[in-house]
Amino acid sequence: MTLHTAEKPYRCSLCGKSFTVLGSLKIHEINHRREKPYHCSHCENSFTELGSMKIHERIHTGEKPYYCSQCGKRFTQLGSLKEHKILHTREKPYPCSLCVNRFSSPRCLKRHERTHTGDKPFQCSQCGKRFSLLASLKRHERTHTGNKTHHCSQCGKSFNLKEYLKVHERIHTGEKREKQFHCSQCGKSFSLLASLKRHERTHTGEKPHHCSQCGTSFKLKGQLKQHERIHTGEKPYHCSQCEKSFAWLGDLRRHERIHTGEKPHHCSQCGKSFTQLRHMKRHEIIHTGDKNVGGTVGHRTGIN
C-alpha cells in the first residue's frame, strides 16, 4: 500500500531523508558510514552497493549485457550504451565553454576541458608522472610492468592493450573494420571516431594541443609529445644492441640499421640500396640531374 499512497515510513536518523522501502534506507545509511560490505571475488575492490559490485565484476568476466541495435556493439553498462548511440545520430548536445567544440556526452566534455585547464588527476605510483586520462595512465603503467595480458588465440602473440590485439587478429581473420564515421567536408570514411577528429583538423586548421613551455600548437597530441622532448631532453627509445637512446622512434629505427645492415630503400634506376630515404634521393640526382629531387625528405620523426 505504501507504493500507492507515496508514504515513506522509513526515515534516516542522520539526515532525515525518507524511503518507502526498508532496503532503500539500509543502502542509503551505508553511504553515510562509507561502509563497503560487497567485495569483488576477483580483486581487492569493495563497494557500498551490490549493484555497483555486479557492474564492476563485468570487467573480469567480460560480460556485456547491453548492445546497440544499430551496429551490434556490446557494453558492460547502460550509460556507456546511451553515450555510444549518440555516435550514430551525430548529436553533440554538450558544448565546451572555452572553445567552439561540442561533445556527445558529459564524460567526453570533461575529458576535453582538461586540454584547456591542464588538469592531470591520474598519477603513476611508480614514477609520479601524471595523466589527464585514466586510460593513458593504465597504458603508461604497463611500461613499468611489461605486462602483456592480451594473447592471440591463433598464434600466441601477446599485447599490452586489447585494441592492439584486435588489430592484430585481423591478420588471421582477414576482417576489414567497418568505416562508420564520415567526414562532412570531403566524404572520407574512418573506422574510429578519433581518426575522423584528427582528419577534420586538416580542413579546419585547428591546433588544440599547446606546449606549456613555448606555446607552440599542434593538431595532434602525439606531435605535441614529440615536440616536448626538445624541452625535456627525454629519450624513450632505446637500442637493444647498444646503450644509445633516442627522442624519436624514426631515429632509433635508422640507427638500428647500423647493427642489422638493412638497406630498405632501393634506386629504381640501378638497384643500389640505402639505409635512409634521403641518401637514396641524393643518389637519384646522378640519374636525373635534377637537384630538386631530394627536396626536404626524411622528417626526423618519421621512419625513413
d(C-alpha 203, C-alpha 186), whole Å: 9
d(C-alpha 223, C-alpha 103), whole Å: 23
Give the residue with greater pLDDT, 40 vs 30.
Answer: 40
Alpha-carbon dihedral of residues 211, 253, 131, 66, nearest 10 degrees?
120
What is the full DSSP assignment across the chain?
Answer: -HHHHT---EE-TTT--EESSHHHHHHHHHHHHT---EE-SSSS-EESSHHHHHHHHHHHH----EE-TTT--EESSHHHHHHHHHHHHT---EE-SSSS-EESSHHHHHHHHHHHH----EE-TTT--EESSHHHHHHHHHHHH----EE-TTT--EESSHHHHHHHHHHHH-------EE-TTT--EESSHHHHHHHHHHHH----EE-TTT--EESSHHHHHHHHHHHH----EE-SSSS-EESSHHHHHHHHHHHH----EE-TTT--EESSHHHHHHHHHHHH--TTSS-S---TTS--
- Strand-strand pairing, 245-246 and 265-266: unpaired
Q: In sequence order, what are the residues at sequence separation of 6 or more whose Cβ sits closer than 8 angstroms to the Cβ of residue 223? A: 209
Does residue 147 register a pLDDT over 80? no
Enter the pTM of the model. Answer: 0.34
Q: What share of the chain has pLDDT > 70, as a percent?
A: 88
d(C-alpha 218, C-alpha 206), whole Å: 8
- pLDDT (0 to 100) of residue 292: 62
Give the residue with greater pLDDT, 301 vs 183.
Answer: 183
Q: What share of the chain has pLDDT > 90, as a percent?
A: 0
Is residue 77 within 8 A of residue 64, CB to CB? The reply is no
- pLDDT (0 to 100) of residue 27: 77
In this prediction, residue 33 has a pLDDT band, given cuts at 50, 70 and 90, of low
- pLDDT (0 to 100) of residue 291: 64
Does residue 300 register a pLDDT over 70? no
- pLDDT (0 to 100) of residue 299: 44
Instruction: For 236-295, write each residue's pLDDT tens digit.
Output: 888 888 888 888 888 888 888 888 888 888 888 898 888 888 888 888 888 887 766 554
Query: CATH 3.30.160.60: does it fit domain 2-63?
Result: yes
Other C-beta atoms lying within 10 Å of the C-beta of residue 236: 13
- pLDDT (0 to 100) of residue 5: 45
Does residue 203 register a pLDDT over 70? yes
C-alpha distances (whole Å) from 208 to each of 114, 197, 198, 227, 282 are 11, 11, 11, 14, 37
Query: Which sequence spans correspond to the domains of the chain?
Result: 2-63
Does residue 173 register a pLDDT over 60? yes
Instruction: For 117-146, write each residue's pLDDT tens digit.
Output: 888 888 887 777 888 888 778 777 777 766
Which cell goes with 16? 532525515
Does residue 221 register a pLDDT over 50? yes
In this prediction, residue 177 has a pLDDT band, given cuts at 50, 70 and 90, of low
Instruction: For 187-201, write each residue's pLDDT tens digit.
Output: 888 877 778 888 888
Determine the Cα angle at 197 with ends 195 and 202, to 5°. Answer: 100
In this prediction, residue 171 has a pLDDT band, given cuts at 50, 70 and 90, of confident
Does residue 301 register a pLDDT over 70? no
Instruction: For 222-231, write each residue's pLDDT tens digit.
Output: 888 888 888 8
